[in-house]
Structure 1
Amino acid sequence: MKLYHFALSGHAHRARLFMSLLGIPHEVVDVDLRSGAHKTPEFLSLNPFGQVPVLDDDGTIVCDSNAILVYLATKLGRTDWLPQDAKGAATVQRWLSVAAGDLAFGPAAARLITVFGAKFNPDDVIARAHVLLKRLDAHLADRDFLVGAQPTIADVALYSYLSSAPEGNVDLSAYPRVNAFLRRIEALPGFVPFAKTRAGLAAAA
């Protein structure tokens, strides 16, 4: 398998992290977004949206980080990571929607401002981030992971941009359960860290 990847993309890290947690042999192909490599005809033939990550599984092309998580768990029959019962599958999907919505427009957007110079309103996206963090901290009051007693792709989908939230000036110190959740993910066999930057609150760390 080949994973088209950019080290500072939380979406790309999401896919790489899951492949590493599953122990899937793969080649990482770096795509330099800063130089516009994702807009070349060659890359657009893989993903017309011009986004990373892209998975090439012996000619089967899968775009979108959450789709890659679902594809890999399904292909390998990993029902521990992607439950197949109606309630479990729906609950995982709910958190994948959070990853694509509240997380993307909160912590991820805040980090896009400081790391990539995105033109979002920082007050708005940081406020959204804290709304999400409060909800997550409450949700984790009686559980170690988002869906059940063990990790699922839901946890993988949220990890990267939660862990890097301070780079977007989102302070995690008021959320002890979220921090404990991040440490549990980092303790999993096969964990690979998300590349760090000296942006936002991380500049003073």
Structure 2
Amino acid sequence: MFPVTNLSTQTAGAASARLPAVRVHTLARLAGVLGFAMATALSAQVAIPLPHTPVPVTLQTLAVLLAGVTLGPRLGALSLALYLLLGSAGYHFFAGGHWGFQTVLGATGGYLIGFLLAQPLLGLLTRRSWPLLGLYCGRAPHRAVDLVVALLAANAVILGGGVTWLYFWSGAGLAATLSMGLWPFLPGEAAKTAAAFVLGRAALRYVRPWMDAD
């Protein structure tokens, strides 16, 4: 005779023991998505207008970079999509308290789209199990240069999207567009990237394992 009753009891006990861990991970991921959506909205309110450009200096890039590193590709994209959805729906979540879908279609729309693309890209580049980028990923722990490359790639997407959109939106020449949408922001982007690197190293070690589903 096989101890069917004991086996069933052990299986049920193991399953019930896993339930609290599943709930904790689910709550952690939900908190991460909501938290970084709100962090992106708050960082957008730190907006410093500059002369001769419709694009302000904000702290959004820092929040976006940290979200990508901390949440990973799927949850990071979800948090940014939630931010854009709430801002488009009427919440004053965009830079300087702006809101509405007209903001997404305005001068800074390219940067918002760049955020949406850069966040999952950064999550992929910092994902240990991503096989196609073994040159930069898949090591345990992550090397510093891996994170630097990932952050620079994400910044290139953000700034590239912003400048490209601004070029067509403004109708100005390339030199004028670069003066409005790129050159004034490079020092600030360097500082925010450095901050994201320092904080991101800790996030990859202590928080990211809770966010990755596999």
Which category describes the TM-score, using the shorter chain as reference length? 0.3 to 0.5
Q: What is the TM-score normalised by the length of structure 2?
A: 0.35
Larger fraction in helix: 2
